[in-house]
């Protein structure tokens, strides 16, 4: 693993049991995360893209130690986060923060903005009740909220402002890694751009590292240093931003990129239209997970052997037999 890496994910697996019906006893298993490896380098923004149900948010929850994996480990600065206890765990919680997708359900409606942002400061003994408001107001100014909003409740804000509250709360403990789980998906275009600029400014200002999870490929392209593409619980491609968008190895990445509508009526691009929906992650199948939708699948190997995740070009990994 890279020596400068902040977070190393090693062979991580997580499944959830599902019952098929109320009265049938047999149950299957969702392989939400099915053996993934990646690391996040200090100071970078790693974009994690994929369609709904591919396991992106499970990765986020595991990286925050909110869920325990079935197997595998996540190292934060070399320590396995699932072995941390007491003080060490509390320290980890301080250094890794999350920004949630939904700015409505992620803020307690009964609390004022000041105490939403300030509570972590008190819990971690960073501020006292006396100097907490001053620190909170500084944070609010940092994310572009007016100090006079200190005593307001979340329902008095627009979705863009609420997301700023969420960002201020994530920043208050001066974390090193921020997991941003679809931070701008719920926002309108003009507000989305403001929020992205804010996140990028803060990253530069404080030298933050982001795991930036999104289904929007244009946004991930804009913010990320490197991009990982997930499909059915696996990372199928991971590479430097520019190279992955210009020359992708995995046919799923290709289809995903070509499906993004371009806001330019003059540009005509060839589109790979995939057949069918992403298959259900329940149950396990042999071979490449993408084989049954893949336009270049080879019956001789793709359906029986799982392709290894190998380095196809410098720093650019993909799992495909054909490329």
Partner 1 sequence: MSDPDCGSRIKRLTHLQPPVIGSRQTTTTTDITDSMPELLEVDNLQTQLHLPQGSAHVVDHVSFTLRSSQTLALVGESGCGKTMTAYSILRLLPSPPAAITGGRIVFNGDNLLDLSEKKMRRIRGGKISIIFQEPLTSLNPVFRVGNQIAEVLQVHTGATAQAALEIAVQLLRDVGIPSPEQRIRDYPHQMSGGMRQRVMIAMAIACNPQLLIADEPTTALDVTVQAQIMELLNRLKEQHNMAMLLITHDLGIVAETAHDVAVMYAGRIIEYTDVTTLFTKPANPYTRGLLDSLPRPGIARLKPIRGMIPSVFELPGGCKFCTRCDKAFDLCMRQEPDLINIAPGGETPHFVRCWLYQKETPR
Binding site for partner 1 (CB under 8 A): 51-52, 158, 160-161, 188-194, 196-197, 200, 215, 217-219, 221-223, 245, 255-256, 258-268, 271, 273-274, 276-278
- Map tokens 């329940």 to a residue: 282
Least CB distance to partner 1 at residue 264 (A) = 6
Q: Of the two residues 266 and 299, which places its CB atom closer to partner 1 in the complex? A: 266
Q: Of the two residues 1 and 272, which places its CB atom closer to partner 1 in the complex? A: 272
Least CB distance to partner 1 at residue 114 (A) = 21
Among candidate residues 287, 323, 281, 284, the one with its CA nearest the CA of residue 305: 287
Least CB distance to partner 1 at residue 18 (A) = 14
Least CB distance to partner 1 at residue 142 (A) = 17
Q: Of the two residues 26 and 264, which places its CB atom closer to partner 1 in the complex? A: 264
Q: How far apart are CA 39 and CA 8, in angstroms?
A: 4
Q: How far apart are CA 13 and CA 178, in angstroms?
A: 22
Q: Which regions of 161-298 does DSSP assign to beta strands (E)?
A: 177-181, 209-214, 226-231, 234-240
HSE-up of residue 172 (Cα within 13 Å, Cβ side): 30
Which residues, in sequence order, are CB contacts of 123 under 8 Å at separation 6+? none
Asked whether 28 and 66 are in contact (CB, 8 A), the reply is no
Q: Of the two residues 283 and 308, which places its CB atom closer to partner 1 in the complex? A: 283
Q: Which regions of 234-321 does DSSP assign to beta strands (E)?
A: 234-240, 310-313, 316-318
Q: Of the two residues 5 and 101, which places its CB atom closer to partner 1 in the complex? A: 101
Going 98 to 103 to 109 to 113, the CA torsion angle's sign is: positive
Least CB distance to partner 1 at residue 255 (A) = 6
Asked whether 136 and 150 are in contact (CB, 8 A), the reply is yes
Least CB distance to partner 1 at residue 2 (A) = 26
Q: Of the two residues 153 and 245, which places its CB atom closer to partner 1 in the complex? A: 245
């Amino acid at each position: 693993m890279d020596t400068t890496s902040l977070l190393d994910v090693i062979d991580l697996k997580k499944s959830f049991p599902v019952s098929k019906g109320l009265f049938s006893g047999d149950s299957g298993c969702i392989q939400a995360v099915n053996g993934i490896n990646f690391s996040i380098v200090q100071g970078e923004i790693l974009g994690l893209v994929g369609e709904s149900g591919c396991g992106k948010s499970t990765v986020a929850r595991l990286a925050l130690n909110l869920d325990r994996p079935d197997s595998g480990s996540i190292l934060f600065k070399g320590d396995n986060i699932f072995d941390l206890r007491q003080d060490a765990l509390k320290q980890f919680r301080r250094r890794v923060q999350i920004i949630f997708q939904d700015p409505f359900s992620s803020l307690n409606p009964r609390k004022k903005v000041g105490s939403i942002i300030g509570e972590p400061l008190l819990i971690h003994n960073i501020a006292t009740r006396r100097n907490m408001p001053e620190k909170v107001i500084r944070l609010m100014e940092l994310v572009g909220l007016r100090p006079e909003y200190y005593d307001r409740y979340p329902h008095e804000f627009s979705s863009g402002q609420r997301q700023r509250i969420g960002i201020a709360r994530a920043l208050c403990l001066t974390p090193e890694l921020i997991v941003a789980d679809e931070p701008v998906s719920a926002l309108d275009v003009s507000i989305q751009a403001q929020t992205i600029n804010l996140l990028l400014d803060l990253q530069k200002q404080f030298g933050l590292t982001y795991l930036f999870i999104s289904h929007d490929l244009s946004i991930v392209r804009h913010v990320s240093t490197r991009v990982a593409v997930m499909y059915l619980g696996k990372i199928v491609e991971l590479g430097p931003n520019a190279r992955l968008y210009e020359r992708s190895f995995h046919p799923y990445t290709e289809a995903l990129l070509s499906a993004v509508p371009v806001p330019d009526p003059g540009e005509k691009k060839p589109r790979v239209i995939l057949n069918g929906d992403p298959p259900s992650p329940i149950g396990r199948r042999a071979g490449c997970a993408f084989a049954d939708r893949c336009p270049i699948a080879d019956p001789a190997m793709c359906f029986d052997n799982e392709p290894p995740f190998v380095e196809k070009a410098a720093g650019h990994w993909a799992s495909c037999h054909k490329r």
